[in-house]
Amino acid sequence: MRIFGREPVYLLALVAITLKLSAAYGLEVTAEQQGAIMAILSLAVALATAIVLRTGAVGAAIVNLAQGALALFLAFGLHMDAETQSLWMAAVEGAVALLIHREVTAPIGPLEIEQRSPVKAGDGRPLSGV
């Protein structure tokens, strides 16, 4: 996978170096904030990779990206108690489950009883006395 004609890992390295140099020369970013920024960028690349490579891990990548975003907001001063954080993550996981749900088919064929209706005769007519 390439972004702007480059491998994502090289772009992440460039961002990390730029961020560290900027902090060394006056940008007011703590080490914790730098770590959170790099974590969210890494998770974004992981999400893009999961989508492009079609590994089936898109749901997990989205949930991890949401966790990284929450950590980023907390590192930059968002005050949120653990219960509220859990509720937000549950909402994200519920949305992912709803939107990326795939139908599951059993590896065995349907049983004969599953092919007949207990309310209709074999020819499709309703059973008498019902």
What's the pLDDT tens digit per position in 58-103?
787 888 888 888 888 888 888 888 889 889 989 988 888 888 766 5
CA–CA separation, 13 vs 45, rounded Å? 12
What is the crossing angle of helices 82-99 and 58-75, to 10°?
Answer: 150
94 contacts 117 by C-beta, under 8 angstroms? no
Q: Do the domain assignments include residue 31?
A: yes
Q: Do the domain assignments include residue 65?
A: yes
Q: Which tokens hold the place of 20? A: 């560290």
Domain count, the chain: 1
46 contacts 58 by C-beta, under 8 angstroms? no
Against a cut of 0.95, is the pTM above it? no
Task: State residue 96's pLDDT score.
Answer: 84
CA–CA separation, 90 vs 63, rounded Å? 10
Q: Do the domain assignments include residue 46?
A: yes
- Domain holding 50, by residue range, is 8-81+91-99
Q: In this model, does residue 109 exceed pLDDT 80?
A: no
Q: Do the domain assignments include residue 17?
A: yes
| 26-53: pLDDT as tens digits | 888 888 888 888 888 888 877 877 777 7
62 contacts 89 by C-beta, under 8 angstroms? no
Q: Do the domain assignments include residue 42?
A: yes
Q: Do the domain assignments include residue 126?
A: no
∠ Cα 21 22 23 (to 5°): 90
Q: Do the domain assignments include residue 26?
A: yes
